[in-house]
Amino acid sequence: MDTHAPLPQRALRALQHFLQWESSGGILLIGAALVALLFANSPLEEAYDGFRELPVAVQVGGLKIAKPLLLWINDGLMAIFFLLVALELKREALSGQLSSLSQVALPVACALAGVAVPAAIFAWINRGDAVAMQGWAVPAATDIAFALGILSLLGSRVPVAMKLLLSTIAVIDDLAAIIIIALFYTSDLSMVALAWAGAAIAAMVVLNRRGVQALTPYLLLGTVVWVAVLKSGVHATLAGVVTGLLIPHVDRKDGIDDETQHSPLEHLEHALHPWVAYLILPVFAFANAGLALGDFALGDVLAPVPLGVALGLALGKPVGVVGAALLARATGLAKFPDGMDGKAMVGLGLLCGIGFTMSLFIASLAYADDGDMFPSAVLGVLCASLVAAVAGYAWLRVVLPPAADEARG
């Protein structure tokens, strides 16, 4: 089976923009996390906590939404992040890397195993503790921005096919995370609020079916969906997913010249990506990664929750990803991309252990009502992401041959 079918020029250009934004945004994301740790472990800790707990209220008539700033970031800004994820998923499914079975077989196998193995490791370590088990999905995610940021440090020695495979695995990973959030992290439901959300979604479906290309009505209705979902008990970020999937992408057969015309979906994706990469994700990292390390002893990382998260990410991810890739190749289901061998696949698997953004987000949902478990999960995420980043970089630095110009230098 040929897994190397060329992508249409339009899809390749979209991929180039994606990789550029994610790589540079990943470096900024790392910086934001380091600043958060600095604030949380310095005399600025009180100011940092005050920033996160700052009360913010918005009222329109009888409708009032009042939350601390941290929850506005996690429920509001992250809804925009999930909107972008949905746009990317839809574009890739209709005209990109996920549009044919030959292109999707390897990343799907790697992504699914990369979700199942870490979750199984966490569940085994935390078996018997019902509260801890709520975080079983924390080590199941990969932070594409962070991982591509590490890859960018390796320069031109990284084959484009490796970046493409990593980004595709992460996109499928995000889809799995969306499904997990919808199924397992939903609280008591308000049927009235869900009815309002359903009505707004139905209106977007009608607009899509009638071929309405203007983005404004979709975004206004998406805002209604967000408010209704926020009040319903379903996590508000799923409103971004639904809205993104209903934005029209009319160029399903790659029939539009990328230089002259974009679909509404592409217009919105291009507009949002810099804001998400350079503002929303760094702000999320700054608000959620500030762990007061003085509250932990060195041995605390061996407690079941942080150990389950850390081993799930740093060990389970590469075992799942690499194991699935080797099995897919051995059975003839897929081939490794051009420029990648088994050693390079190990390096990619290590980088998939960088959970960070999505892992922190799922931890905030899993342990929203437990003030002790959440910091422990954050400790596991930070330790695993650091180990995965360093190990992945060091391994690939050794096994990837330098580019011709780098070798001459």
Nearest Cα neighbor of 289 from 28, 42, 39, 80 is 39
Distances (CA, A) of 397 to 21, 29, 81, 155, 391: 23, 22, 31, 10, 10
Q: What is the pLDDT of residue 7?
A: 47
Nearest Cα neighbor of 83 from 223, 284, 263, 250 is 223
| Of 29 and 19, the one with more pLDDT | 29
Predicted structure pTM score? 0.77
Q: Is residue 204 part of a domain?
A: no
Q: How confident is the model at residue 260 (pLDDT cuts 50, 70, 90)?
A: low
Residues 6+ away with beta carbon under 8 Å from 369 = none
Q: Is residue 309 part of a domain?
A: yes
Q: Is residue 258 part of a domain?
A: yes
Q: Is residue 223 part of a domain?
A: no
Burial of 338 (0-12, 13-18, 19+ CB in 10 A): exposed
Q: Is residue 218 part of a domain?
A: no
| Of 173 and 221, the one with more pLDDT | 221
Residue 67, domain CATH: 1.20.1530.10
Q: What is the mean pLDDT of residues 345-371?
A: 89
DSSP one-letter string for 215-235: HHHHHHHHHHHHHHHHHHTS-
Share of the chain above pLDDT 70, in %: 87
Q: Say how many domains are in the chain.
A: 1
Q: What is the mean pLDDT of residues 149-160?
A: 81
CB atoms within 10 A of CB 7: 19
Q: What is the pLDDT of residue 337?
A: 83
Q: Is residue 286 part of a domain?
A: yes
| Of 54 and 169, the one with more pLDDT | 54
Q: How confident is the model at residue 10 (pLDDT cuts 50, 70, 90)?
A: low
pLDDT digits (tens, 9 = 90+) for 384-406: 999 999 999 999 999 988 764 44
d(C-alpha 324, C-alpha 110), whole Å: 5
Q: Is residue 178 part of a domain?
A: yes
Q: Is residue 249 part of a domain?
A: yes
Q: What is the pLDDT of residue 405?
A: 47
DSSP one-letter string for 383-405: HHHHHHHHHHHHHHHHHSPPPHH
Provide the domain limits for residue 116.
9-186+235-402
Q: What is the mean pLDDT of residues 187-192?
A: 79
pLDDT digits (tens, 9 = 90+) for 272-317: 988 988 899 899 989 988 888 887 877 888 999 999 999 999 999 9
- Least confident span in 36-40, 92-96, 147-151: 92-96
pLDDT of 226 higher than 60? yes
